[in-house]
Chains A and B, each alone.
Chain A
Amino acid sequence: MPKYKLNVNNKNYNVTVEAGTPLLWVLRDNLNLTGTKYSCGEGLCGSCTIHIDGKAERSCIVSVEEAVDKKITTIEGLAENPDHPIFKTWIELEVSQCGYCQPGQIMTLAAMLDSDSRPSRKEIDNTMSTVLCRCGTYHRIRKAIDKIVEEKQ
């Protein structure tokens, strides 16, 4: 059985799983980092979004071996700074309803803002439209992003 060395939220882990195991299930079942959510398993909804070397990736379609020697950040890692403007604005505007997709929304947005602190409307639309929300919090996500981007300037 192959062993993989992973760096998640600045901690090193050794996991023993089959090659091809999606990183999502390694995070959830092996490392008990359940903030990363399973929803579609096909890279269609964005609920499982994490950062790999700073880029937003869908952990349900990234295999464990692809993640070796890379820096992985999950929502728990981002939440080590609860004062992150995204968290503060999300609470202030009460964006969440059921909350299940929100880690994916937040990780997707955080990666976008890290790469471009002044994203265009089109860039925001394209990026955020990849993450589905069944409760319909899009309207508040838009308000929150507008506020965050405005306050950065």
Chain B
Amino acid sequence: MSNSVKQTRREFIKVVGISGSGLILASFIPFNNVLANVGDDPKIFSPSVFLKIDSNGIVTIIFHRSEMGQGVKTALPMLVAEELEVDWEKIIIEQSDADKKYGNQSTGGSTSVRRNWEPLRVAGATAREMLILAAAKKWNTGTSNCYAENGFIINKSNGKKYSYGELVEDAAKLPVPTDVKLKDPKDFKLIGKRVHRVDTPDKIFGKAIFGIDVVVPGMFYAALSRCPTFGGKVKSFDAAKAKSMPGVVDVVEISNGVAVIADSTWRAFKGRDSLIIEWDLGPYANVTTEDIRNEMLKHVKDEGAELENRGNINTNIKDEIKLDAVYEVPFITHAPMEPMNCVAKYQNGKAEIWAPTQNAQDAQNETARVLGISKNDVTVHITLMGGGFGRRLVNDYVVEAAEISKACGKTIKLTWTREEDMKFGFFRPPSMSVLKGSVTKDGKPAKFYHHVIAPSISQMRFNKNLKAEESDIADGTIDLQYQIPNLKITGTLIPTHVPISWWRAVYNSQNPFAVESFIDEMAYAANKDPFIFRKEMLPSDSRLANVMNVAVEKAGWQVGKKLPAGKGMGIAIFSGYESYCAQIAEVTVNNNKLKIDRYVAVIDCGIVVNPDTVEAQLEGAIVFALSAALKSEITIQKGGVKESNFDDYPMLAYDETPVIETYYIKNTYKVGGVGEVGIGACAPALTNAIFAATGKRIRRLPVKLI
């Protein structure tokens, strides 16, 4: 590094960076200490929007998605760095703003690594090939006589080398190749390594800036009072008392309520509490959870719209053993530790937004829409997030902040309280699952029928005319890998006015609970070990069977073995997001008191970018899913949400967390998703273990033992 810095102390020559968007990047100076010491204007080589190399040799990789704890701020730059052949310890990682030039920035559906696996490697390889060509030309040799390593291009015949910084100007003048060769996975140096997360030190030292920590010069603080019922609105309000409170500078009405602007968060909260508002509670003021549940119950005897059909579910099978059951899960919420918040600055027809958002381009569009300006006049800065889990895919809090800023003419930070986060969420919808099945006398699966009754997120959010066949409600039960001769999946959509949205794995959190529990019921009806029963329904060479076999081995599952009284093991498997996961739970139940002793989880997600992150995501998914299975339930009463904080919406705590063992399969299959695949099998592994321990079949979440 120091060598290349010295060599760049020369007269400034403007170099046109050949970026994908054709921008001239020469005037851009990345902010960091090394450059500040040099005091020089570096030239920039940027053959892609995802990276830039300056003539001081500093490599900056642009991270264009959102980091909410899942580790992609480390994993995505690793993809670029792998192909670019740079020293990982020396690169700078820069969070991008919202911009469609990066492609899709929406951070959900476990897509960050698998959707960027190729584009980011191509970006790195393109720059590498151009640097090699630039060096070859300087040496007047062929490119096959040169290779890239650790930030240098090396001449094979004489061992001479150029640093990347020295090649920036020449490389920037070359045409961008379109057919670069990517590395063979066996040559990976960085991918597959336990690389430390780039953001950990700042986070533990209290230096990391989450959305809620953003401070902009001249900023005020805002709090918003919203109607306690869904579908209600402000009828009238009296702001006199709030305006007399210390530090309160303004009170404004926006489409979602009445906002108080003050010179500190606490004063904004206090001012908000002093508002006198008369609400029009709207048409749903008396709706309760039971009303919504009754709507679902009405359809339990219906056939449902056909979504998948194999064989003939109505065929006659001699001496078949029939069984049926109804499974059910409630509304639940995300409750990330950092409540919703956003800083908005609207001035002279332009808006600047600082948001902890999983969906920055949507935040840009939504801000433009609500302010009536062009999206080109909206800048969205993406901040770190204190958890997301799907909640921050919806930018309602960004819209609120933008509206408040425009209404009061000030830069404001809107902060939600925990109570507001609980009550004004976008909830994981409830669902009912009607299951019917049968096994033959000799213990083979014969029939499997699953009718999913649930509100559809895709219908409620995007297209009210959507039919069950086109909806999302059967994710996690469609395309089951089990080879069951007669299988039918059907669905019924339940409209709801309650705001619903994606929650880590969404329908892949609820349908596998029903499916994997009922498969367990079928195994017992067939008088088969639950592992063997599953194994016999899967092709022996399938990746799903493989993760299950490994889990069985690691957990010490013994076929047909009865554990001591009160102890039980449960198995469940799940495939989705192009990945596979098996989980085995081990529990002890004493006097109806449940203790979860151990979880063994095995994942096959194809090529593993960072083993440590994959393990962390599995561990986290198990805690997240156990919290939901054991504790979470959002209750609708009087048209709004009853729960308000962590006392009535509790979460799994430290001492309730089992020992968690995670394993991943080493292979070179296409890279799969990691963030959500660990959710599906978790709840049914638990309830199957409870059944093994007690004989009690849990068919409704959260788990109640009495």
Contacts and interface: CB of A to CB of B under 8 A. Distances in A.
A135 B675 CA distance: 11
Q: How large is the interface on B (under 10, 10 to 19, 20 to 34, 35 or more residues)?
A: 35 or more
A18 B221 CA distance: 16
Nearest to B209: A34
Contact of B655 (A41, A91, A126, A133): A126
A129 B417 CA distance: 23
Contacts of B71: 97
Interface string A25-43: 1001110111111111110
A113 interface: no
Contact of A36 (B206, B266, B418): B206
Contacts of A119: none
Given A25-B266, A96-B200, A134 B654 contact: no
Nearest to B338: A100
Interface stretch (B22-30, B361-369, B617-625): B617-625
B706 interface: no
Given A28-B265, A32-B215, A37-B386, A97 B616 contact: yes
Interface in B597-621: 612, 616, 619-621
A133 B204 CA distance: 14
A40 B203 CA distance: 19
Contacts of A126: 655
Contacts of B212: 34, 37-38
A39 B654 contact: no
A129 B204 contact: no
B47 interface: no
Interface stretch (B55-63, B159-167, B644-652): B644-652
A128 interface: yes
Contact of B204 (A103, A131, A135, A136): A103
A94 B206 contact: no
Contacts of B612: 94
B495 interface: no
B74 to A, nearest CB: 10
A4 interface: no
A138 B623 contact: yes
- The residue in A22, A76, A125, A135 that gathers the most chain B C-beta atoms within 10 A of its C-beta is A135
B146 to A, nearest CB: 37
Contact of A96 (B203, B209, B417, B623): B203
Contact of B264 (A25, A96, A130): A25
A129 B654 contact: yes
Interface string B248-276: 00000000000000001111001000000
Contact of A102 (B203, B335, B417): B203
A134 to B, nearest CB: 5
Nearest to A1: B246
Interface string B201-218: 101111111101101000
A106 B201 CA distance: 13
Nearest to A42: B645
B458 interface: no
A102 B204 contact: yes
B205 A136 contact: no
Interface in A103-153: 103, 106, 125-126, 128-142
Contact of B337 (A21, A37, A79): A37
Interface in B639-669: 645-647, 651-657, 659-660
A52 interface: no
Contact of A100 (B207, B386, B627, B656): B386
A34 B645 CA distance: 22
B691 interface: no
B206 A74 contact: yes
Interface string B183-204: 0000000000000110111011
B385 interface: yes
A76 to B, nearest CB: 5
B70 interface: yes
Nearest to A77: B206
Interface in A30-85: 30, 32-42, 44-45, 47, 74-76, 79, 82
A106 B200 CA distance: 13
B69 A135 contact: yes
User: Interface extent on A, as a size class?
Assistant: 35 or more
Contacts of A128: 654-655
Nearest to B270: A18
Contacts of B200: 90-91, 94, 96, 99
A90 B622 CA distance: 21
A29 B213 CA distance: 9
B357 interface: no
A8 interface: no
A136 B623 contact: yes
A136 B621 contact: yes
Nearest to A29: B264
A31 to B, nearest CB: 11
Contacts of A91: 196, 200-201, 204
Contacts of A136: 619-624, 627, 652, 657
A99 B384 contact: yes
B25 to A, nearest CB: 31
Contacts of B386: 37, 39, 98-101
Given A38-B212, A41-B417, A135-B387, A94 B197 contact: yes
Contact of B336 (A1, A18, A134): A134
B221 to A, nearest CB: 7
B68 interface: yes
A65 to B, nearest CB: 14
Contacts of B336: 98, 100, 134
B407 to A, nearest CB: 22
Nearest to A33: B206
A65 B307 CA distance: 63
A37 B337 CA distance: 9
B455 interface: no
B339 interface: yes
A76 B205 contact: yes
B653 A129 contact: yes
Nearest to B621: A136
Interface in B295-338: 335-338
B389 interface: yes
A36 B386 CA distance: 13
Nearest to A141: B654
Contacts of A94: 196-197, 200, 612, 616
A98 B356 CA distance: 12
B583 interface: no
Contacts of B215: 32, 34
Q: Across chains A and B, which 5 residue pairs bring their CB atoms closest together, nearest first?
A: A35-B206, A136-B623, A100-B386, A98-B69, A99-B203
26 contacts: A18-B246, A21-B266, A22-B266, A25-B265, A33-B206, A34-B206, A35-B206, A45-B646, A76-B206, A76-B207, A87-B204, A91-B204, A94-B197, A94-B200, A94-B612, A96-B200, A97-B616, A98-B385, A100-B338, A125-B655, A129-B654, A130-B653, A134-B624, A135-B69, A136-B657, A139-B619
Given A94-B200, A139-B619, 6 more contacts: A35-B206, A129-B655, A133-B337, A133-B654, A137-B619, A138-B653
Interface of B: 68-71, 196-197, 199-201, 203-210, 212-213, 215, 221, 246, 264-267, 270, 335-339, 384-389, 415, 417-418, 612, 616, 619-624, 627, 645-647, 651-657, 659-660
